[in-house]
Structure 1
Amino acid sequence: MAQDPGRTGQPRNRQWLWLLILPWIGVVWVPFYNKIEPTLWGFPFFYWYQLLWVLISAVITALVYTKTKALPSRRAGQGGAR
């Protein structure tokens, strides 16, 4: 019988998922970054702040993924196909 790929190991700490709310808060709170100054390489703050959150979100998502993915089961290699 084939194993369900979602249940192959032990689930890890799910509290890391709360980090995913940080990019949402940083981008949804528009009055905070709705300004021109300071500029960075000629780009207004409004644009480079959003671009910075794209990079931060990618790092946070990778971190949360690695911290929450299931650990490999010790018996995953045993049994084999019949």
Structure 2
Amino acid sequence: MIIEIDGYLQSVMLTGRKCTKKQLKEKYLKAKKHSVDGKSFPELFCRMHHFDRVPYDSEIEVDFVIDTDTDRIYQPSY
């Protein structure tokens, strides 16, 4: 699965094992709890949940978007 982490400072794409929206929310909240700042969040999320960072490409259709400014997780419509 591919997720986009969309934040004020950066947008990052990650790939990892497929999970439900509920599972992704749990992973997000766990990583957020241990994150010092928004800029280091993607790397922490990757380490904690075995995801890998991939080069950002706005043309890639992602499974979920995590908006770190609003804590919202959603499936974009294409």
TM-score, structure 1 length as denominator? 0.23
**Structure ID, larger Rg:** 1
Which structure has more strand as a fraction of its residues? 2
